[in-house]
Amino acid sequence: MNPHLKLLSTYESRNVTHLAEDGAWPIVWERAKGVHVWDTDGKKYLDLTGAFAVAATGHANPRVTQAAQAQFAKLPHAMGDVHPHPLKGELARALSKLTFERWAKKEFQQVHNHCLPHEIPPRHAKTIFCNSGFEAVEAALKTALLATDKPGVIAFEGAYHGLGYGALNTTHRAMFHKPFRKQLGKFSRFAQFPETEAARAETLAHLEKLFQKHSIGAVLMEPIQGRAGLRVPPLRFLGDLKTLCKSHHALLICDEIYTGFGRTGEWFACDSSQFYPDLICLGKALTNGFPLSACVGRAAVMDRAWPASEGEAIHTSTYLGHPVGCAMALAQIKELKEKKLITKTRRLGKKFEKLYQRYPIEGARYIGRGLMAGLAFNPSDGPRVMAAVKTMLQRGYILLPAGEHGQVIAFSPPLTITEKQLERTLATLQKVMS
């Protein structure tokens, strides 16, 4: 057995790292650069996962790394909610501009075709910084309760919002919450996540009933479900939810922890539908590789929810708004803009779909948007998918299965990947799966 894995198997808790008996899984990452990863044996891999869709601008991106190193040397830690550092405000402002300020302009222009910039009413966002993605979801759930005074939350079948005890109530898959049910709250109801127009109508009718029956303060949704297997709802669905929430005085929360920062070919997946939430949860690609996340909301909503400070924050954590994470996030946003990675991803996503037609695989259907793509097989094909993912690993390609039955081969590579690298992946996958 690989000595690093042996060590881990002795000292890391069970049920964290899965170690296959045949030694085919996992590899031990030594270093990474751009779209490539090297293991401790020096073998090179093409990373089609972006390490859980985090490394959007490429692993160890020079601009982001340099920002992290400089910040680490200058101030590696400040005092969360007590004595802040300057980058926290700067990042909160950058997130406001990227989200609610940009959306306000779009919404205003949709209604008033020819408006001048000074005619657009000001609207900005406020942020609560957190560490992991699930914490941003929990901050959003608390915000919704405080803002509406209604405890109920509607989430969707297949949803993955993380595994902390708050977020876990809204994560759908039984394997995650069943062992802990005795300690879980009961504030969530689940509705079907529609993937077709017919299902959309059914879901809307069900949602209306849930609103009538329960005191619902928030609807929480992933604009495209990630871990559930790249499930894309009809484009109008987000608008439907927005209308429904408005008429029932509830908040719409978009969990864009997976889909955010260019992954789908837009800054955020909700940009495609041109309907925007009241709160958005961000993480993963926000920093390119540091545990920093954010719950960003319309300033009016955030101010309605959170009372003025009386000295001690009622929601905080030691590392809140970590300076290194903030420095990385500011550099990451700059890099995404300057390298025009959002537009590039939109184009590459379309090319990827076309490329798949050249390398089709029996029983597989192309799904997704931008570089959040997948090949969906039948649920019973889960073992076949896992076997292919393992063989691909031996051949130098890092992939992950997604979906409740592991029936989807998911692609969330760094957005810097090339068409050639995607084509090489599909060609190899086709050979492996035939």
Ligand X SMILES: Cc1ncc(COP(=O)(O)O)c(C=O)c1O
Which residues of this chain interact with ligand X, rule CB under 6 A? Answer: 52, 132-134, 137, 160-162, 222, 226-227, 255, 257-258, 283
Q: Please give the backbone phi and psi of residue 89, each rounded to the nearest 5 degrees, phi first.
A: -65, -40
CA 425 to chain centroid, in Å, comes to 23
Name the residue nearer to ligand X (CB basis): 39 or 222: 222
Give the tokens for residue 274: 């041109």
Name the residue nearer to ligand X (CB basis): 134 or 187: 134
CB 137 within 8 A of CB 255: yes
What is the nearest approach in angstroms of ligand X to the Cβ of residue 208? Answer: 25
Give the tokens for residue 198: 């017919």
CB 280 within 8 A of CB 254: yes
What is the nearest approach in angstroms of ligand X to the Cβ of residue 176? Answer: 11
What is the nearest approach in angstroms of ligand X to the Cβ of residue 238? Answer: 15
Other beta carbons within 10 angstroms of residue 290's beta carbon come to: 19
What is the nearest approach in angstroms of ligand X to the Cβ of residue 19? Answer: 21
**Amino acid letter at 395?**
R
What is the nearest approach in angstroms of ligand X to the Cβ of residue 263? Answer: 10
Name the residue nearer to ligand X (CB basis): 94 or 139: 139
CB 23 within 8 A of CB 1: yes
Name the residue nearer to ligand X (CB basis): 67 or 257: 257
What is the nearest approach in angstroms of ligand X to the Cβ of residue 411? Answer: 15
Beta bridge partners of 381: none
Name the residue nearer to ligand X (CB basis): 227 or 242: 227
- Residue identified by tokens 């030691």 is 318
Q: How far apart are CA 274 and CA 198, in angstroms?
A: 22
What is the nearest approach in angstroms of ligand X to the Cβ of residue 37? Answer: 19
Give the tokens for residue 390: 């393992």
Residue with the closest Cβ to ligand X?
133
Name the residue nearer to ligand X (CB basis): 71 or 287: 287
Give the tokens for residue 55: 């490394």
Give the tokens for residue 168: 């876990």
Q: How far apart are CA 180 and CA 153, in angstroms?
A: 19
- Residue identified by tokens 């049910």 is 181
Name the residue nearer to ligand X (CB basis): 173 or 405: 173
